[in-house]
Structure 1
């Protein structure tokens, strides 16, 4: 019997377990999505009506698998386990019947699910026992398999991508063209005002400047959001984006030129160092002299 409890800390968890065991008389119970790990998980399983237990850690704040059994009825031998799977051989005590039992709660993240599938192929290649897989793969094959709830992941991504493209084209995608159009109109108005000024053109210029400022704000928000998304997705990875970001940050933090008190630009690294050092010395010397002045 398999039960996705969605968290064992529910007040009715133990009551539900006792009712299920009494009603089904099951000697093996698989509990998925326990959302708890370590000693706390052991304390709970020790109070349940099973004398055998195998537990896995959670995947962050989700997941968690338990295999519980009555050793008087079945012999369960643990083979291997990860956060997403538990592999055991099960032998019925009253017969010679044995099979391979795999309990699954797949990660909602694609990369980790890929690891699960590779592990399952490895198990399939190394065992020839009857094989039962039970649990939650966290995915559907086709949208038609769902009768209610949210659409499948692939359909949701396709729908969102289509809507995002339409929005980008109709709303944001025209910002650059709209800016160019306003810039051209502003140039025309300014030329006209220079030769034949009128209040109508002045009012129109104010209106266009307000629209232009709003477009600049929207564009700035877009680029800020885009940079944050790229950093969240790729920022901590040792890839081209990461190294480009570091190089760009170093360039922003560098001082390549300074202007001295005579209005001369200093670009030589030695001249820059001397100018900065003398500036700080002058600053602190002036402060000390001010501090020792007497009325």
Structure 2
């Protein structure tokens, strides 16, 4: 939910889900995507979910196996389509070879713009692995030959070098770059500025990555002040209220304004903004994982564990916050329901969010300034009139 809230993806791929059947359906329904394709797990192994927002993108699923989902993509604001392959490669070499052969056959069947993304379970060079056994050159040749036959190029990345870890202590630590995004030249022509960012890894042994087709331009308008009932759980909050109202009992407007100022400062300096704390912890965690990719030591490993624990504590506070915001007291013992409360609180907001509009020529505009101009010109056209003078009809009277 955090990834969706922060990055607003139109399509999301989740690999190695370890879930299937009713539990998978329950989780997918709680996410803000109304289209999905699922490859079920085998026991607790594997699993691929491809989720999308059908109001922003049209997806036509073409084929799926235990290791891949292939679909045709058309972003609704654009006039062209391209092929996406969501990959979760098996760690077993024989099954990997089946995947590489499937990709070769698909490459011979079309000349469309094409992107592969997911967990390939292979490194391409010794530089992409730290610790453990030496890389297997046979496996490296197999994936490289497949990508060459498909005319694919690696998009590169920014962020931590390694995307996977075994979460062990320094002596037994293994880190690898297993997750990546490949594209063919036709896809690169459509999205020349596209880039991949490795995001912070939390409880998973893999870090998520974000594929940006073009920069996102959001709005920085100030949000209105809202009283958070979770503040009442803090012992110092009553002091903030008392100080804000002291000597202002006769002036309600001044007391409210003073309370707003003091509460915001207190929330920032003492209680702490939950979402800001989460982002700060993630930023520190990302920096730690960057450093751990370059210099492996016990201090960084322990710091990574500490930051992960802090993040999980903040999640508990966030759960209470969303429960209060949604005015829902239903909490199943032992199960975090943050996503349920999040959906309850943000359902109307997400439906009312405008991400793009059509101009008079029927073209979709995503740029914030262009959207503002379209709204302004439309309202001016609707309410403006060319009549600047209204003649007064003379009134005649008789004696």
Give yes or no for TM over 0.5.
no
Normalised to the residue count of structure 1, the TM-score between the two structures is 0.45
Larger radius of gyration: 1
Normalised to the residue count of structure 2, the TM-score between the two structures is 0.33
For CA contacts below 8 A with separation 6 or more, give which structure has more relative contact order. 2
Larger helix proportion of the pair: 1
